[in-house]
Amino acid sequence: EDQVTQSPEALRLQEGESSSLNCSYTVSGLRGLFWYRQDPGKGPEFLFTLYSAGEEKEKERLKATLTKKESFLHITAPKPEDSATYLCAVRSGTASKLTFGTGTRLQVTL
């Protein structure tokens, strides 16, 4: 059974203070690792899909990396509008479903 563990549960940063969120996973045959952003009361917003170890993707202040056991979401010089819950999910084997972690709740203050 696929498992996804995210840490920390919550993170408070000051504007401009860079940091990383961690997603550890256990799957049988990774088909994709997904990062989403979720604002309160909203649906998950797609950020990235990573497929193989060593792959990196960037979008504005966010950069996602992937190893064989974990993924990191690096946030460089965050702004208050980056405050949200960041969700990690995996897809494995022939399954179509995504298995989600519990998320990291990020708060960026002035």
**Binding interface with other proteins (CB under 8 A):** 31-32, 34, 36, 41-46, 49, 87, 89, 91, 95-103
Query: Whole-angstrom Cα distance, residue 24 to residue 60?
Result: 23
* Minimum CB distance to other proteins, residue 96 (Å): 4
Query: Whole-angstrom Cα distance, residue 95 to residue 92?
Result: 6
Nearer to other proteins, 31 or 63 (CB): 31
Nearer to other proteins, 15 or 56 (CB): 56
Nearer to other proteins, 78 or 101 (CB): 101
Query: Whole-angstrom Cα distance, residue 39 to residue 91?
Result: 22
* Token pair listed for 14: 């000051």
Nearer to other proteins, 72 or 100 (CB): 100
Helix and strand numbers (H, E) in the chain are: 0, 11
* Token pair listed for 60: 């504005």
